Amino acid sequence: MRRIVYAGGTLYTGDAIAEALLAYARALARNGTADTVFVPAHTAEGDDGTIELLVGPASQLVSEPVELAGPELADDDLVERLRTLTAELEPRRPEAQSAADVDLTDDIG
């Protein structure tokens, strides 16, 4: 389980959710944009629910491991969606051509 400190508040969520959330926040910041994300969490007061977070260039998220009683919070669909959104924001790298794909006959006069 991870404790996330955000805007002076604290929430607790699963490891995979926290990891995907921070990676997405980093990608948003690199691109100078923001998004609202709904994260399943336990609050510091012990309430369970969904927390709405605005993440982007100005977000200051801190995540640290904690030991809490009860099951690890998980949301595989959210984690996959955040990973997809993060990948879409990553810089594109040119694909390398293999030697088999290069037509060398064009250079022959």
Residue at 71: amino acid letter: P
Helix axes 76-89, 15-30, angle to 10 degrees: 20
pLDDT tens for the 109 residues of the chain, in order: 999 999 888 999 999 999 999 999 999 999 999 999 999 999 777 788 999 999 999 989 999 999 988 889 999 999 999 999 999 998 877 666 665 665 555 555 5
Cα dist. 108→9, 10, 37, 101, 102 in Å?
68, 67, 56, 17, 13
Question: pTM of the predicted model, to two decimals?
Answer: 0.80
Domain extent listing, the chain:
2-81
